[in-house]
Amino acid sequence: MWKRCSSCKEPIALGAQYWTCNVSTCNRKRTALQFCSVSCWDGHLPIARHRDAWAEEKHAPATAEAEEPSLPSRVKPSPKKPARRVIPRPAPPQDTSPEEVLIVASRLKDFVKAASGFNTSDRVLEPLSEIVRRVCLEAIENARRDGRKTLLDRDVPKS
């Protein structure tokens, strides 16, 4: 294995074909996005919100040694920093006490009216907010399990 796909996390083999984004912010050393297929590259566009982007075809190095370019002799590599210790955060309490409403009432009412012609009671907002909280907590756990601090669409459980 050379690296993993930035989207689906499938391995990209040594010497295999892969794709990168042409946008410079996706190709920085810290970002270095690589994708196993054009469809995986296409999946990052809604998140990245590029104006004009395309996938560039590339090939992974044939051997593991070829991955890192050799440094000129006069430049010394910087010493590696010790790994940061990650302290797991406890899950937030999941009590059922009424909390702040997370649903935009006007948008929900407009949607229900357009979809069915029905009116919507304001008391619908609290149970829907509780459902959104549960789904968000599950998505947070999925992202934490993958070692990320950013929720992605793939973290949200399918209904």
The pLDDT assigned to 90 comes to 62
Whole-Å CA distances, 87 to 137, 145, 156: 18, 13, 23
Query: Residue 20, Cβ neighbours under 10 Å: how many?
Result: 17
Q: How far apart are CA 106 and CA 112, in angstroms?
A: 10
The pLDDT assigned to 73 comes to 40
Q: How far apart are CA 154 and CA 56, in angstroms?
A: 24
- Mean pLDDT, each 10-residue run in order, the chain (159 residues): 88 90 82 86 78 84 65 46 60 60 89 94 91 92 92 90
Q: Is the dihedral of CA 50, 51, 54, 59 positive or negative?
A: negative
